[in-house]
Structure formats: C-alpha cells, structure tokens
Amino acid sequence: MRLVFMGPPGAGKGTQARAVAQRCGIPHVSSGDIFRAEIDNKTPLGLKIRSYLETGELVPDPITVEAVAGRLAAADCAAGWLLDGFPRTLGQAEALDRALAAGGDKLCAVVNLEVEPEIIVRRMGGRRSCPKCGRIYHVEFIRPRVQGACDVCGAALVARQDDKPDTVRERLATYHRQTAPLVEYYERQGLLVRVDGGGTPDEVRARLFEQLKAFVGR
C-alpha cells in the first residue's frame, strides 16, 4: 500500500499517519525525518539540505525529491509506505508520480485531513514538541506519560513560537495556497480521500480507517 497524507499544520496528520502506518504494517516516512537523517549522517545530500535550512530557505524540489526517492528505495519500503509531509507542491507531486511509474508502481490513495482554521488555532495553542527527537504532544489530546517530558527520549517538551495564533493563521493561509493545486491534482486522479479532521483523535481515526477500506489492495 502506497499512501500520501496531506493536512494543514495542527490537523493531527502526523498522529493519524503513524496509526495508519502501524495498522497497515508499512513504514511511516516523514520528509522531516528524511532530512534529519541525511544531515545527521553527513551525506553529500544532507550537506546540501543543511545549507538551505541554515539560511532559512526552502529546500529546492529536485533535492527534496532525490532525498524522498532514496528513502522509498530502501528495503523496508518494498511492500509499501506512507508519505507524510511530501509532496508539498504540484512539481513534487508530478515528480513522485514519474518516479513511481518508472518502477511500475503508483499511489493507492491520498488522504486529505480537513479541519476548520479556528479549530486548528485552538489545537496548536496546546501543542508541545520535543526539541530533541521531534515527537509532538498535546496538553489535552496526546499527553506524555510523564508531564513535560518526551516519552521517547525524556527531553523537556517546549511550546513553539510558531504555534501562536497570528502565526498559525499565516501558516494556514500559506498552506492552503500551496496545496490547493495538489488537492485538485489528486482529485482528478480519483485518489483523494477527504477526511473530516474535527473531533478527538480516536473519532478521526475511526472515520479515516472506514474511508480507506475502499482503497486497500489497490
């Protein structure tokens, strides 16, 4: 099974993506994790990625596509994968389709989590993240076992500056401008699965699994 997960910041995309990947027995492939691994391993690609991130620039599509394609070629992705955080642009989506077609594969479905902007603003105000491993928590919905500490590495959790209401609204506006063409692109292909992301994580997960049933085995 080969899935792409889309959704605005704060929609709970990472949480739901991990749950689906675990249920399907496929790797949860995050573009952020790929970048961190390349940088930590000091690969030539990682050095290029770091040079852009350190100057606050977006990593160009060709470099991003190369990094993601390399990860999807790994042995643990042979039976399928779930992509989280990629593609972000129409060019990346088209490049992914070409790469899959070259190997005789194609996407099974593209999940788009849809949440009202003001719900996201409220959600993100309670978000806490681990500065060491990147795991995300929430003061209401996804609490760590020990208050204020990451379950994975034990680091102290922090509230990010970009989770402030005005910043969140700006990020949402940018996200919707960038992803609107992607939604149309995948809808034309009959791959788009629109999922209402409102409610508790368990409620969203139940809707998500129900709607994905029609795409299993593609």
State the catalytic residues.
13, 88, 127, 160, 171
Taking CA atoms, 30 is separated from 56, 86, 164, 175, 200, in Å, by 20, 8, 24, 17, 23
**Cβ within 8 Å of residue 86, ≥6 positions away:** 4, 31, 64, 68, 92, 96
Find, among 107, 102, 35, the residue nearest to 71 by Cα.
35
Nearest-Å Rg of the Cα atoms of the chain is 17
Residues 10 and 163: their CA atoms lie apart, in Å, by 9
Residues 1 and 72: their CA atoms lie apart, in Å, by 12
